[in-house]
A and B are shown apart, each in its own frame.
Chain A
């Protein structure tokens, strides 16, 4: 009788991640655990660094969303120095940030999450990648994806020096501005981005929502989880990526908490397990009750669907329309369907693009007053942004010379770490019964994981767009009984054995 299943994906996580599934005597899933075996120690080696260097150090936490760290860090440093950016600098930062969200979300959808959706869960592995997506929706799209990504990244490179590890945001503002020539050029990109985001939503509509089988999966129980949801909102409780208050809603959708970044410690705490290097944030006022869902458990979720759930709507008109459409399809707000993260991601991309246009149509973005030089004694500060993958918190304490004495980081994906574990377990329980492991397990387990777009997602999966998996099935005596292996061959073919 098989006792334990090891799933060894090594993708999308820093370095390595493995899933262990334990069966009970009946052959049903007892427990599933995702272990993250990677830690760098930024919270410790920040100590002793000049705080204004943190926006140049912390992007190295993640090379896929470095802009998120650069921005959260800069906002924390602003707070440490008790300074605000100039209005123009703020607009530029918002431009950079929304451009980044647009680009990152788009890439994820087409290269990673999208293939599940667009091509369908029952499609052969050979088709479940960007090539399959292109095959399904047309050759043009591949070129458009590359173009929108490149042009957005050019905006970030121009304003921030580098797109992988931006440099130019500084306390009280930004080090580089925009001239009229580039404003007009980037405005063209922004308009194209809006078109493209709408196009992507259209594809979603045509290919996903019209596929009943897939819709059933989205709405089905295996991928549904009732948790609290957390996201940044503006004054009107609309989704905002760059700034705002943090809002938390219950699984029923009622506002549970709304707090300023500086108050985060009253609301968020982190739990530690000895079998993983990652921590598990939870709502302090509810408490850590374990890896369980529901109103009495402090587990919450972040990232696209959570943000939309935690808000009263989108901040831009076209995105708002899509938001309404999504919720009416899913049966109301909040939506608990994990797979709907993919959908929410596209709606956010549209808002990001619309915001880019609005910012670039405002000529005052070319103004040259870019810095407020700090004058007050530095002390302590918190900066929060919405990274593509969730609420990102940077918190620094310094001495009077602005040297970091303590740092605390709660990094986006980590907000979902408990939920990811639970999603995998739920999917495993749905598909592994009585010791029978179906071929579909490979896909199904992956699908529980992918919507969260954990950390190293994105372009590193340029072509295959699927997670390679190995499942080992051990008998009680530890003997390897069976092995499922999905391998990818460079010519695009794929096999499951």
Chain B
């Protein structure tokens, strides 16, 4: 077997599997990809033992695509190992890029999550108050282990050095294909780049032309309380849409499903904190200077942090809710 083909690996951390699915959705195109590379490591499909990866020479894997957020000790160990063995690491999907939906766990901690899952949910019958333990010793002395569950969820680059980011939940097909081609052809942008255009969504959104000259709204509407107009800009309808603070490149799939954007592509290059940027944008379009009216409108916005940071909580400037605040 020829050794000329670059070695590629895929790994998943705290992931839903959607990014793995997105590889399969390349459908017929995947065969071209598979023919061009040597997949040496894909836990869902190939024999994998940590020892095998450890045995590989450092830097012998050309590129590793890692999806999922870091939530467990096992995931941290694996990604650190892959970093050693790979020339390039691509953070694949929102979770590894920004923390993703699992990042919402950063409003809580291990104790509250365990308490809910194993003790307080109405269907759980647990008179002994059993919770998962890192080490269980069975009656006959045998030990069973589980990896450590962290208090905080991390994006990939908070744990290892990342070379490129493929954004989206899940990344769209054409973005993956162009990223893979760029890697195979060696035509990559500077290290640390997000492999998607550096513009906000509104730039290419079809509904942009329906925005009035000056966008100013007097009321915020939640998606349950109105029939969403299939053509008008959501913000112009008073519906929160994170388009202005979100990077372009997704193809506006959610918008085409007649639902507003929730920011899965993350911010553009110039922004540190996507949620804060969106907050600014929203504040700018509120059509009032009267403090009482401002209070009223702002009061009607529910769950601002969970909405503005829906996908990016771990990568936000604050990163997580203050531990002392959690009871």
Contact = CB atoms under 8 A, between A and B. Distances in A.
Tell me, yes or no, whether A binds B.
yes
Interface of A: 4, 8, 10-12, 14-16, 20, 22, 33, 35, 37-41, 43-45, 47-53, 56-57, 59-64, 66, 77, 81, 146, 149-150, 153, 157, 159-168, 170-172, 175-176, 264-265, 268-277, 279, 281, 284, 288, 370-371, 373-374, 395, 401-403, 406, 408, 410, 455-456, 458-464, 468-470, 485-491
Contacts of B48: 10, 468
Contact of A487 (B47, B105, B255, B307): B47
Contact of B147 (A37, A63, A265, A458): A37
B228 A44 contact: no
B140 to A, nearest CB: 7
B63 interface: no
B45 A488 contact: yes
B14 A165 contact: no
Given A45-B108, A81-B224, A11 B45 contact: yes
Interface in B236-276: 253-259, 262
Contacts of B68: 15
Given A41-B105, A161-B258, A456-B44, A170 B223 contact: yes
A43 B256 contact: no
Contact of B116 (A37, A41, A81, A269): A41
Given A272-B130, A275-B132, A464 B74 contact: no
| Interface SS of chain B | loop
A462 B24 contact: yes
Contacts of B167: none
Nearest to B261: A167
A16 B258 contact: no
B108 A459 contact: no
B42 to A, nearest CB: 8
B322 interface: no
A41 B121 CA distance: 12
Interface string B191-224: 0000000000000000000000000000000111
8 contacts: A45-B104, A48-B107, A63-B19, A167-B254, A171-B224, A272-B130, A403-B302, A458-B24
Contact of A146 (B27, B39, B124, B149): B27
A38 B132 CA distance: 11
Nearest to B132: A277
Contact of B18 (A63, A146, A488): A63
A14 B74 CA distance: 13
Given A14-B15, A157-B253, A265 B122 contact: yes
Given A10-B43, A64-B21, A270 B107 contact: no
B116 A43 contact: yes
Given A35-B144, A63-B170, A275-B138, 5 more contacts: A16-B147, A44-B113, A175-B257, A272-B124, A273-B130
Contacts of B121: 43, 270, 408
Interface string B29-72: 01000100011100111111100000000000000000010011
B165 interface: no
Most chain A CB atoms below 10 A, which of B47, B68, B140? B47
Contacts of A157: 253
A43 B136 CA distance: 24
A486 B47 contact: yes
B318 interface: no
A160 B140 CA distance: 52
B281 interface: no
Nearest to B119: A272
A56 B169 contact: no
B91 interface: no
A40 B105 contact: yes
B293 interface: no
Contact of A277 (B146, B223, B307): B146
A347 to B, nearest CB: 25
A490 B38 contact: yes
B225 interface: yes
Given A37-B146, A41-B116, A63-B17, A269 B170 contact: no
Contacts of A406: 122
Contact of B254 (A45, A57, A161, A273): A161
